[in-house]
């Protein structure tokens, strides 16, 4: 009898702990998920023109890794990856727009940094691309290393970690430079092509995507070998709504876990029905109530993977075509950095 009572008391205590945890996770702040459902649409901030990450086609439909990250969240919350309104914004506009509530989420080649979390009231829910800052020069300049840029003029966007890293790099190496500061991505690229600056600095992915769009003169531009910073890029949300934060974070982790487990957009329905792997069963909602713990259906991952794909599918669809190999963006067991905590 004592052991039964002990077990019952333990179960009751566990239930209270779970309920308290869920209440704490939800908090008393804004309910972004409810707002999204009421609106029937996720509002996502993306870059103005970033091939591979966010770029509209001839019909005005956006494509890219950041775009797909937003679509995955919409699939999780609304069950439909197409229910997203994409709002292009500049580096100066992006944070005020998220802070003010004009955006539900910002997925815009944005670096996760301490200052942005501690000073701006934002929280980064994960990393969808590991990047680093580099330099691009014209091939005919003869420059083959960033060490040769002493005294150079460098095109850079304002209000970015790129600007700070640039200053730090030149100061550390006791070199001089003259910044050419231009806010709009298209304008800064045009200035570089026109010769207004000797070098163009940005995240290496952005430089590669720029070069990939040059249909006739791509070979005229060279990426220098130096990577001068760590730039983990990922989705940001406002602090305070931790349930929505959980949804964004675990949607990304679920896509990474799906790739590791071999779950794809082509086989997710079959695996949801037939897989005997306990990890797959939990991920796809066959067992447990993980979706309900975030206010979602238990098959929320099935909806995400069926409509958007796993992380590898997103990468192959968007980033591989612009010439960036997986490298550090591969899974941890394939030599990369992407690693999802256990979905259990």
- pLDDT tens digit at each of 344 positions of the chain: 444 443 444 434 334 333 333 443 444 568 999 999 999 999 999 998 888 999 999 999 999 999 999 999 999 999 999 999 999 999 899 999 999 999 999 999 999 999 999 999 999 999 999 999 999 999 999 999 999 999 999 999 887 888 999 999 999 999 999 999 998 888 999 999 999 999 999 999 889 888 888 888 989 999 999 999 999 999 999 999 999 999 999 999 999 999 999 999 999 999 999 999 999 999 999 999 999 999 999 999 999 999 999 999 999 999 999 888 899 999 999 999 999 999 99
Structural contact between residues 66 and 53, judged by C-beta atoms closer than 8 angstroms: yes
Question: Residue 82: which residues within 8 A CB-CB, separation 6 or more?
Answer: 71, 74
| 3-state percent breakdown (helix, strand, coil) of the chain, nearest 5 | 45, 15, 35
DSSP annotation of 294: G
From CA 28, how far away is CA 24, in angstroms rounded?
Answer: 8
Helices (H) and strands (E) in the chain, counts: 13, 14
pTM of the model: 0.84
Residue-wise DSSP of 185-253: HHHHHHHHHTTSSSEEEEEHHHHHHHHHT-TTTGGGEEE-S---S-EEE--EEETT-HHHHHHHHHHHH
């Amino acid at each position: 009898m004592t052991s039964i009572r002990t077990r019952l008391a333990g179960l009751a205590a566990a239930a209270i702990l779970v309920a308290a945890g869920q209440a704490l996770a939800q908090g008393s702040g804004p309910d972004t998920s409810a707002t999204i459902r009421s609106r029937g649409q996720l509002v996502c901030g993306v870059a103005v023109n970033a091939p591979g990450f966010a770029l509209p086609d001839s019909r005005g439909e956006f494509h890219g890794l950041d775009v797909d990250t937003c679509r995955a969240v919409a699939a999780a919350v609304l069950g439909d990856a197409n229910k997203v309104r994409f709002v292009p914004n500049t580096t100066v506009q992006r944070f005020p727009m998220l802070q003010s509530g004009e955006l539900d989420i910002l997925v815009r080649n944005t670096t996760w940094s301490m200052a942005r979390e501690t000073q701006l009231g934002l929280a980064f829910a994960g990393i969808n691309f590991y990047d680093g800052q580099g330099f691009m020069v014209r091939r005919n300049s003869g420059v083959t290393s960033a060490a040769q840029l002493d005294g150079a003029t460098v095109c850079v966007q304002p209000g970015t970690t790129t600007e700070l890293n640039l200053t730090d790099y030149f100061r550390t190496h006791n070199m001089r430079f003259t910044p050419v500061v231009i806010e709009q991505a298209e304008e800064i690229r045009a200035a570089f092509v026109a010769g207004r600056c000797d070098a163009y600095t940005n995240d290496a992915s952005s430089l590669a995507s720029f070069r990939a769009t040059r249909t006739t003169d791509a070979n005229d531009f060279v990426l220098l070998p130096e990577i001068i910073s760590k730039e983990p890029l990922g989705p940001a949300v406002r602090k305070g709504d931790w349930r929505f934060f959980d949804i964004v974070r675990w949607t990304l982790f679920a896509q990474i876990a799906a790739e590791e487990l071999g779950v794809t957009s082509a086989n997710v329905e079959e695996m949801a029905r037939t897989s005997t792997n306990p990890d797959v069963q939990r991920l796809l909602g066959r067992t447990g109530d993980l979706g309900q713990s975030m206010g979602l259906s238990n098959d929320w991952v099935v909806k995400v993977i069926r409509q958007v794909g796993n992380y590898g599918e997103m990468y192959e669809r968007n980033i591989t075509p612009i010439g960036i190999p997986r490298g550090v963006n591969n899974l941890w067991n394939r030599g990369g950095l992407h690693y999802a905590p256990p979905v259990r």
